[in-house]
Each structure stands twice: as structure tokens, then as C-alpha cells.
Amino acid sequence: MARTTIHPGACPLDCPDTCTWQLTVTDGRAVALRGDRDHPFTRGALCGKVNRYLDAVNGPDRLTRPLVRVGPKGVGPVSYRPASWDEALNRVAAGLRATIDAGGPQAILPYYFAGTMGLVQGWTMGPRLFAHLGASRLRTTICTAAARAALQSVYGGSVGFEPESIVDARLIVLWGANLLSTNLHHWPFVQEAQRRGAYVVTIDPLRTDTAARSDEHVAPLPGTDAALALGLMRHIRDLGGVDREWRDAHTTGGERLDARLDEWPVERAAAECGLDVEVLRRLGARIAGTRPTAIRVGLGLQRHAGAGQAVRAIAAIPLLTGDFRYPGGGALVTTSGHHRIDPDRVARPADLPTPPARSINMSRLAAALTGEADPPVTSLVVFDANPAATVPDQNRLRAGLGRADLFTVVLEQRWTDTCDWADVVLPATMQPEHLDLHTSYGHHYATLNLPASTPPGEALPNTEIFRRIAAALGLTHPRLRDTDEDLARQLLDGAGVSFEELREHTYARATGVDVGAAPYAKGGFPTRDGRARLYDPQLTGQGVDPLIGYTPPVEAADPQLARRFPLALISPAGRFLMNSTFASLPWHLDRTGPPRIHLHPVDAAARGLADGDAARVHNDRGAFLATVAVDEATRPGLAFTYKAYWARLSPGGSTVNAVTAVRDTDLGGGPTFHDTRVQVEGVPAEAPGQPA
């Protein structure tokens, strides 16, 4: 008789919501999945991406055995044959030892990010092993680096209002935040605020689903968010909307910012942003007169050259208005800094020797593999990431991945673009098959995920793979043999919640902030003096204006480049793809469709293009093919295409990252995906490899 059980767990994907779920397992196979209706934040709903998660878990394309390369790089699975774990691990150990012998341990680069957000599988044993070896340390910049650096400068850390308290706001500004696609479970709280009378404004260059459901949509030019924030603050000040008592008590640099705002009348800001001046006046007046105002900041707006200054400027608005006085007031970018769990402490425990090492910016991987790193990287170990699909300057990256002297190991669940370039591919488990611990960057709950179903074939958890690599290398330190439960307990040490509590209840709040609280009503920001900083002298040494200001985008604001490549291009997240995780699955691809380049009707007509035409999108770095979508969701001069497609499954074998640049943001060293200029041309119908 079949045995069916139900197991609680957590969604592992790169999303601020970190849903809890209920997994039904029959005879070791995951057969059904639904959201946990009792969770205070996610409340039982799963998004369109994750509703079909078991298609991935049970898919026929799961990797089930180690594979070793026997043919050329870059041509796919035909170059690989199955191997035993012993053979594969011996190859990995031999490759890493050869790198250490020839160039030292810093010639090894581990490359990982948010393929799973789980702290145990993603952020402990793998980084621990490479820290002990003395390998290069990865600066994990590709998502939130600019925003985190900006928040550190202004607030002293990644802090903000309590997300559930947004129901108490009277005005909600969703700035670069498309909640319906990327933060779905915060939207019901916004709707509840609307029912209580709140007015909702979305600021986004595109008319997204979230913008369409808001009370007002403001569409600035990409990369001009800081100019918009400065113009709003000037108008707020001119209308008497600055809470000077609160500002002067809990910030430094207020008088300096007053002088900066003198330079930013709304007319200047509106011109810089490509907006009607009345739009700024109206929104500025609304912010000046509405308490509390909540500003929910998304991550897409920090992917241009002036991203750090943009987030600093937006974060300054509630410091002028005093909105942090009130529950539901202030600004919020991420809750990840609110949790009392420190994975870095567990990745480099005090009793494990970890030699000093250089750091390499993950967003600059294409440059690091093609000459920027000295000494060169000659071993690359990839886990929880698919860089061949997700990092900038795709053509240069392929040249680096194809180097004959680069030894590459990939831990994966299915064959991805990056696997095409590996020397060894090791099969990894998925979320229902291993233990993991999750915090969230959108709410304040920690969640334990316990293994519930049987892994396919010989697939192993990341942690076990790294334990076996350590053993194959002859490393004997006991910290390299810690079990997954050991790692989870180490992460929870001092977190205010125990492993036993999570094992019994699955989730618990892992922060000292209560629902409905105003945690910074009396200041107490995590700076040295407890004051937020409108002027940060430490930025001078980084070449950044210490005063809140505006750094224009590089390509989007370049008039000479615009003559050759007249369209600014951004690549936001879509509703059915999660970074590159689901981009090979039929159900998700059917709903997403082929890669499309969305053009305003004016821009499409100027190029003689119609909806459904095949097009080539290009600049000096490269090109990709896409189907034209004539779309009034964008504005003239601005094109967009959704990110996350795999090159190996795309027409022409390239994606949008063939045209994006390796360039750092002003703060944090983040990528500049949304600071790109292109031209779009029609492709003859008979051209090979055209979009379907």
C-alpha cells in the first residue's frame, strides 16, 4: 500500500517572500505542493513561478550521475560521459591541486549566489571549504550590492520599516518595485492599506502590472531616480513638509542637504527625469502632507551607474518628513539586515584556519576570466548559479569559460548554459530532498526545511558534495565534516530561535521588531552615533559625493552613444521566470513565450517593425534575436526585454546579456544591467535562427 505523508518546508528561490509550503510525498516521491495558509506573511498562496515547482523536481532532465568532459567545451551534453562519484571527485581534487601547485590557492574562484536562498546549502559548507583553502573570496554583488552600500551609508545597515505594518500607511510609494511579479505576498498588505484609505503610487519607467493597479503611475527615465528624489525633497521642503524637529534630532547633515536642495528645483528634476513638472509637484505635495508615508524600494532601480546615490536619495526622503516616527512609515529596501543570523560567521568559524585572500567581484566575472584577475583564475567551482546565462558581457564571458587552462566544476540539478563549459558536472539535490534554513529579504520569519523526498539517482546535497571534495583533497579539519543539522544549529546560535522550535513549528520570527512597531521612531539607527547620515564623509575616499546627490547613468545619458544606439534598454524580471531557474521548463516557457523586445509604437514605426516581427538587438558588445512586441507599457526611446532566458535555448544562441556591460555601480560594485544602449533592426524572414 502506498504511503503518503505531508511535510512543511520553504520555497528556496531568490524572492523576498520565502513562502512556507506543504509538500505531499507518496513513497518517497513529491506529488503535490501548496502554500501554508497559516503563515502570517505568505498566507497560503504560491506564485505562478512556484506553483509548478514539482515539474522541476520530478523532471526527466534532472541530473542523476556525475559527468566528466571527454569532448570540446561549449557544445553541450554530447561532450560528457557518466562517471562514478569516486572518479569525479578524484578529477575535481586533481584539478584543484594542479591550480594550487601552479598559481596558489587564490587561482581558485568559487562562484555562487541565489540558486537557492538556503543558508545551509548555499552559504556555509561551500564557502567554508574555499575559505580554508585560501581561495579567492567572491564578492556577491550581482543583486543588492549598490543598495546595501547605500543603506549602510545612510542608515548604518539594511534596515527599514516593518513590512507587515505597511497596512498602517496612508501613502504608499512603490519605487522600482513590481510587487505582482517579484514580491507578490506584500501586495495583499498594500491592498489592505488601500481599503483603509491609502493612496498607492508606483514609480517605474514601465507600466507594469503593479503600476496598472496603483492609483498613480510615475514613469521617469531609467537611472534618474536620484534626480526625482531630490526634486521631490525640494518641493516637500518648499511646502513646509520637513519635520525639522525629528530630522535634526536623528540625522546628521541636514543643513548641507538643504543647500543641495537649493540646486534642485522641480523644473530641473522634471527635465532630468523626462516628466511633466506637475507630476513632481503633485507627488511632492502628497508626500509633504501625508503621514505616514511608506516607500517600498525595489532592486531593479539600483542596476545603473548612479545606483548608490539613487538609493541614498530615496532613503533620505523619510528622514526629512519624519515618517519613521509612525508604524507603517519610512523606507524599506530589504529585511535581510534585520535577522539575527550571520552566515559569514558560520562560513568562516573562529576555530577553522582561513588564510587571507583576494576578493573578486562576481559581477565582473567576464573580465576576471579574460585578463583582469592577476594571478589568473585557473579553477572555477560554480554552485547555486548559472553565470553563463546571468552575468554581463556574455560573449566575453564565453571566451573566458572556453579557456583551455580553466578547470571548471559545476554543481547542478539540470543541464544549464554553464554546464556546457564544465570539466566535471556533479548532480545536486533540490529543496524537498535536503535540509536547509531560510531567512527572508522581504519579511521577518526564519523557516526550516527538512528532507522529505528521495533524490533522483546519485544526486547529493551541496553540503555533502563539499564534504566529499574536502576529503578527496585530504583535508581533515573537523569543521569540514559538520553535518547539515550542525550547520543549521550554528546559524541559529544567538538568533533568538532554536533548531528545536523550528523543527516543531517550521517558522518563527527571527528579529526583535514586532508587527506594527515603528522601530526607528526615536532614531537609534545602527550607526556609530545612532543618527542617520544625510552627509557621509567616509564616501569621499571612494570617489563618491558624501552628500546626497545625483550620479547620471553612463550609457543612458550619453548623447553621442545615443546617435548610434538610440534606445535605452532595461531587462526586468518577468512573472513566470525566476532568474534562470525555470527557463528550460515547458510550462514556464509556454506562458512566457520566446524572448521579446518591447518597443513603444513610435519606435516600432520608425523602424518599420510590427508586432511579431523578428528583430536583432545589438550594440558594440554583441547582439541577440527577439520577437517584436509593440507595447505602450514603455515610453518612446526605451525598450525592454525580460531577463532569465538561457542562451542555449534562445534564437541565435544569445540573450540580453550579450549587450550588457561589465561596469560597476557608484557604490557597492554592483552590475549595471539597466544602463545599456542598443539599436533594434528587423531580421529578414528567411534568416536562420530567427525567433519563433
DSSP per position, 17-79: T--EEEEEEETTEEEEEEE-TT-TTTTT---TTTTTHHHHHT-TTB--S-EEE-S-TTS-GGG
In whole angstroms, give the CA distance from residue 295 to residue 355.
42
Residue 685 confidence (pLDDT): 66
The segments of the chain whose pLDDT lies below 70 read: 685-692
What backbone phi and psi angles, to 5 degrees, belong to 315? -65, -20
The residue type at 225: D
- From residue 28, alpha-carbon distances to 3, 25, 64, 233, 433 in Å are 8, 6, 16, 58, 10
> Cα–Cα distance between 126 and 119 in angstroms, integer?
11
Predicted local distance difference test score (pLDDT) of residue 690: 46
Torsion of CA 606, 608, 613, 618, to 10 degrees: -50
Residue 362 is placed in which grid cell? 562576481
For 278, residues 6+ apart whose C-beta sits below 8 A from its C-beta are none
Q: What is the pLDDT of residue 575?
A: 84
Instruction: Report whether 111 contacts 412 (CB < 8 A).
Output: no
What is residue 691's predicted lDDT score, i.e. its pLDDT?
42
Q: What is the largest CA-CA distance in the chain?
A: 77
CB 57 within 8 A of CB 421: no
**At 360, phi and psi to the nearest 5?**
-130, 130
* CA dihedral of residues 391, 393, 395, 397 (deg, nearest 10): -50
Exposure on the CB side of residue 648, measured as CA atoms within 13 A? 19
Q: Does residue 153 sit in helix, strand or coil?
A: helix
387-422: b (≥16 Cβ within 10 Å) or e: bbbbbbbbebbbebbebeebbbbbbbbbbbbbbbbb
Strands 4-10 and 80-82: unpaired
Distance, CA of 116 to CA of 14 (rounded, Å): 7
Is 153 in contact with 323 (CB distance < 8 Å)? Answer: no
Could you identify the residue written with the cell 550619453? 558
3-state secondary structure of 640: strand
Phi and psi torsions of 301, nearest 5°: -75, -10
Classify 197 in phi/psi space as left (phi over 0), alpha (psi -120 to 50) or beta: left
